[in-house]
Amino acid sequence: MFKGILITQGDAGYQAELQMIDEAVLPEGDVRVQVAWSTLNYKDALAITGKSPVVRRFPMVPGIDFAGTVTDSTHPAWKAGDQVILNGWGVGETHCGGLAQVARVKGDWLVPLPAAFTERQAMAIGTAGYTAMLCVLALERHGIAPTDGEVLVTGASGGVGSVAIALLAQLGYTVVASTGRLAESDYLKALGASQVIDRSALSAPGKPIGKERWAGVIDTVGSHTLANACATTKYRGAVAACGLAGGMDFPASVAPFILRGVTLYGIDSVMAPLALRLQAWQRLARDLDVAKLEAMTRDIGLAQAIDVAAALLQGQVRGRVVVDVAGG
Ligand code: NDP
């Protein structure tokens, strides 16, 4: 038995509860991990609250990521004592996840904990930060250089947004942060934003094409925000779209794509191939200022995770939340 959050669906409805879990609940897997730290990402909050149908099997341990130590393995790449991290692969959705003290997973899903980070720091980054890096890599691959002009980050005070700002600033880009929380302007500027704009400037229905402003965009919001971001991206610029915090729709025109050669990159962290994951973690180790990471991170215990999940969906959580799973 071990401590964790378990989501059940039965006569009592959809319930997430901290409890002692029988290891027999865990699905098949060739590696058993003693989980030390996990995090709360947007998707975890959806799973814990049941607000969206993220969980596809019951009972389910939520938590789309974790850091911990291998205790047993029949996978050739891993042995007892190895420190590992996991992001995505349907963990916390279709396969029991990281918000419990033990996980059993496929060895193919794991990556080694980078030497630059402690388990806690790796989870302070978490799936949100790793996705922010996937977005940065997409803009870089497109050839966007700091001298090309401003890069817009939407949903700036959130997890992906906060890490994206810190990374872009470290790499020399001029970052414009779009937020609904202008009271967080000092926080966003401390992370590296040169300018903070009110998200209402982007969230209302806009014109099919507007004045060119952004060399690149990292969008976590979707809907009109993504459409307006595309409409105001400069000639041959690029937009990396990873989120839907403002809506899953995309009420846009083809004008920016066919008149300005704008490229829209879809960013998926869940099924990303191993080589890309390793590259992203290697670049996080190189390019993320750990002092900024600390400034955006708050620690909670497993017992607080359910309440904090609800607050996260209400836009009340700033930056990243790490969960001390080992501490209970
Ligand atoms: P957070 O909740 O930490 O951040 C989301 C931010 O979006 C909020 O802080 C808020 O920023 C902004 N926001 C919230 N609601 C709205 C709204 N109605 N309209 C406009 N802006 C809004 O979540 P994460 O950073 O962890 O994730 C962000 C998005 O990225 C989510 O949709 C998530 O599902 C997605 N994601 C996708 C991944 C992938 O693989 N594609 C991986 C990880 C995340 P502010 O207050 O500054 O305006």
Alpha helix positions (H), 33-180:
42-49, 119-142, 159-170
Residue nearest to atom 10 of ligand 1 (CA): 155
Report pLDDT digits (tens) over 67-114. 999 999 999 999 999 999 999 999 999 999 999 999 999 999 999 999
Q: Which domains, ranges and CATH numbers included, belong to the chain?
A: 2-113+297-324 (3.90.180.10), 127-266 (3.40.50.720)
Q: What is the average pLDDT across 240-260?
A: 97
CA of 266, closest atom in ligand 1? 41
Q: What is the average pLDDT across 120-149?
A: 98
For position 109, what pLDDT does the model report? Answer: 98
Query: How many residues does the structure list for the chain?
Result: 328
Å from CA of 184 to ligand 1 middle: 15
CA of 270, closest atom in ligand 1? 40
Task: Enumerate the β-bridge partners of residue 301.
Answer: 324
- With a 6 Å cutoff on the Cβ, whether 179 touches ligand 1 is yes
- With a 6 Å cutoff on the Cβ, whether 39 touches ligand 1 is no
CA atoms within 13 A on the CB side of 158: 32
Residue nearest to atom 8 of ligand 1 (CA): 158
For position 118, what pLDDT does the model report? Answer: 98
| Tokens of residue 271, six digits | 């099924």
- With a 6 Å cutoff on the Cβ, whether 220 touches ligand 1 is yes
The residue among 263, 271, 269, 227 whose CA lies nearest residue 248 is: 227
Q: What is the pTM of this model?
A: 0.97
Q: Are 280 and 288 in contact (CB under 8 A)?
A: no
Q: Are 163 and 128 in contact (CB under 8 A)?
A: yes
171 pLDDT more than 90: yes
For position 328, what pLDDT does the model report? Answer: 82
Tell me the CA distances in angstroms from 323 to 35, 162, 301, one per residue in order: 11, 18, 5
For position 12, what pLDDT does the model report? Answer: 87
| Tokens of residue 217, six digits | 């965009």
125 pLDDT more than 90: yes
Q: Would you say the C-alpha torsion 123, 170, 217, 180 has a positive or negative sign?
A: positive
Q: How far apart are CA 38 and CA 29, in angstroms?
A: 19
- With a 6 Å cutoff on the Cβ, whether 199 touches ligand 1 is yes
Confidence of residue 121 (pLDDT cuts 50, 70, 90): very high
Residue nearest to atom 17 of ligand 1 (CA): 246
Print the SS3 string covering 225-243.
Answer: HHHHHHHCEEEEEEEEECC
For a ligand 1 pocket test, name from 220, 264, 317 the mutation site with the most ligand atoms within 8 angstroms of its C-beta: 220
- With a 6 Å cutoff on the Cβ, whether 246 touches ligand 1 is yes
- With a 6 Å cutoff on the Cβ, whether 47 touches ligand 1 is no
Encoded amino acid at 20, one letter: M
Report pLDDT digits (tens) over 268-306. 999 999 999 999 999 999 999 999 999 999 999 999 999
CA of 268, closest atom in ligand 1? 40
For position 301, what pLDDT does the model report? Answer: 96
The whole-chain average pLDDT of the chain stands at 97
Å from CA of 289 to ligand 1 middle: 21
Q: How far apart are CA 227 and CA 223, in angstroms?
A: 6
Confidence of residue 169 (pLDDT cuts 50, 70, 90): very high
